Structure 1
Amino acid sequence: MIDLSAFSLAGKTVMVTGANTGIGQGIALSIGRAGGRVIGVGRSDMDETAALLAELGAGFVPVKADLGSSTDAQAMFDAAWDTHGPIDGLVNNAGIIKRADAVEFTEADWDAVMDVNLKTMFFLCQSLGRRALAADRGARIVNISSMLSFQGGIRVASYTASKSGVLGITRLLANEWAAKGINVNSIAPGYIETNNTEALRADPDRSASILGRIPAARWGVPSDIGDAAVFLLSRAANYMHGAVIPVDGGWLAR
């Protein structure tokens, strides 16, 4: 018999960055369906996410924050812990992307992407680690990486660098914290139906090219990522440390 309670997040509080739409919203909803309470962090309103979680009867706390500043992000995390109680899990999902040929890429676009995708990601992990270790509590961290953590891509120099760094930091933190009750793992999404991929899906030739490489023969949906996150946040993943799970319909296997 499978112990389904091993996948439950009942009684757990999980912070999800970028929870207002797309993959972040999908992760928040999956956590809610698993019984967890979500602290959703983002720059814009999260009314839609709040309404969807309310339909599930799940707890939701919206927090507005500028994740371009690691200092502000750390202050936000500590305030959320102090106000809403200990945080059991953290999903670093928020990210930005800038596109330009490598010879035209600006330092400003490099810094903006690296600040959100890698620097703030690390310091939010550090914030949870500090509080959990000081309180002698276990914790779970799930960092959202990318197919470009494995591949080079084109015209997205800082994004590729940042998402390669996400995997490196995930492994480093797992090495330091695994024996201390903190699990740090990563999910690498493939092509997912979100606002960010709307233009690709609307282009018949580009969409056909992408689908032609995906063995599953479909685009992913946010819940595909959300359900994988629930697994890594749950007791079922107790012995997983420093792992990356590609949720890509088989893209990397092609």
Structure 2
Amino acid sequence: MSSPSRDSHEKIVITGAANGIGKATAIACVEAGYYVIAADKDRLGLQALQARLPTHRLETHLADFSQPQVYQSFIGDLYDRHRHNALEALVNNAGIYHGKSVYDYSDEEVEEIWAVNLKSLVYLSKDFARRESGATHLRSIVNVTSVAGEVGSMDALYGATKAGVIGLTKANAWNFAPGSG
């Protein structure tokens, strides 16, 4: 029996898939029969995921979502360069937690946490929704956040970005839900 092609399975994109919640989500989705497109900047973590999961159910992409050229083109590249015809779900899981006072952040770290924890989600979500707007069945965007977005955090930037993710998730529902356009 031949291996099914990557286009014969429902596809789920997971960012931050090399470790933690993202890795557990990728494993659970593959075990449930989905084809997972796993993206992360952790090359070794992605290689470990590849070693654990069947190659006909997993595709990995080395992607640093702190870089605008990455988060602004990632979804489009999946369709155009990697020839995916349809994606069923996007799990925005990539995130950074520095665990330090706002006084201790460098300007580069401020930009990085805003990009990874919030800006990339905006671009990935809108690009996914735009590409899948004509789908005949429902698509899903799942944004992983933290209780720090509701109650705050000693790491003010982390808490602020996670509060932003909660707001973005609500806005996505308004903007992308069937019949909202």
- Regarding TM over 0.5, the answer is yes
**Residue 27 and residue 80 in structure 1: after superposition, are their counterparts in 2 closer, same or farther (change >3 A)?**
same
Counterpart residue number, 2:5: none
Q: Does 1:25 align with 2:26?
A: no
Q: CA deviation at 1:86?
A: 1.2
- The two structures, once aligned, show a CA RMSD in angstroms of 2.0
User: Identity over aligned residues, as a percent?
Assistant: 28
Contact 1:35-1:58 within 8 A present in 2 as well: no
Q: Partners of 2:179 and 2:140 in 1: how far apart?
A: 11
Counterpart residue number, 1:112: 112
Indicate the structure (1 or 2) with the bigger Cα radius of gyration: 1
Q: CA deviation at 1:78?
A: 1.1
Q: CA deviation at 1:167?
A: 0.4
Give a deviation string over 1:88-125, Cα, whole Å, max 9, x none.
Answer: 10000111122332334333222110111100011100
Counterpart residue number, 1:130: 130
Aligned residues: 169
Q: Partners of 2:95 and 2:23 in 1: how far apart?
A: 13
Report the AA paired with residue 113 of structure 1.
Answer: I
Equivalence map 1:105-254=2 (5 Å): 105-135=105-135, 138-154=138-154, 156-180=155-179
Report the AA paired with residue 42 of structure 1.
Answer: D
Q: Does 1:51 align with 2:47?
A: no
Give a deviation string over 1:24-70, Cα, whole Å, max 9, x none.
Answer: 1100011111110000001122122122222xx86001111121123
Contact 1:133-1:180 within 8 A present in 2 as well: no
Q: Relative to structure 2, which stretch is displaced further, 101-110 or 27-36? A: 101-110
Counterpart residue number, 2:88: 88
Q: CA deviation at 1:137?
A: 5.3
Q: Partners of 1:27 and 1:58 in 2: how far apart?
A: 17
Q: Partners of 1:101 and 1:72 in 2: how far apart?
A: 28
Contact 2:74-2:124 within 8 A present in 1 as well: no
Q: CA deviation at 1:12?
A: 1.1
Q: Tell me, what secondary structure is at the counterpart of 2:60?
A: strand
Report the AA paired with residue 67 of structure 1.
Answer: F
Counterpart residue number, 2:33: 35
Q: CA deviation at 1:135?
A: 5.0
Counterpart residue number, 2:3: none
Q: Tell me, what secondary structure is at the counterpart of 1:100?
A: coil
Report the AA paired with residue 144 of structure 1.
Answer: V
**Residue 43 and residue 104 in structure 1: after superposition, are their counterparts in 2 closer, same or farther (change >3 A)?**
closer
Counterpart residue number, 1:76: 74
Q: Tell me, what secondary structure is at the counterpart of 2:178?
A: helix
Q: Which runs of 5+ in 1 are unaligned?
A: 1-9, 182-254
Q: Partners of 1:106 and 1:95 in 2: how far apart?
A: 17
* TM-score after normalising by structure 1: 0.61
Q: Partners of 1:36 and 1:49 in 2: how far apart?
A: 15
Q: Which runs of 5+ in 2 are unaligned?
A: 1-7
Report the AA paired with residue 113 of structure 2.
Answer: V
* TM-score after normalising by structure 2: 0.84
Q: Tell me, what secondary structure is at the counterpart of 2:90?
A: strand
Q: Tell me, what secondary structure is at the counterpart of 2:100?
A: coil
Contact 1:24-1:94 within 8 A present in 2 as well: yes
Q: Partners of 2:57 and 2:147 in 1: how far apart?
A: 32
Q: Partners of 1:66 and 1:153 in 2: how far apart?
A: 25
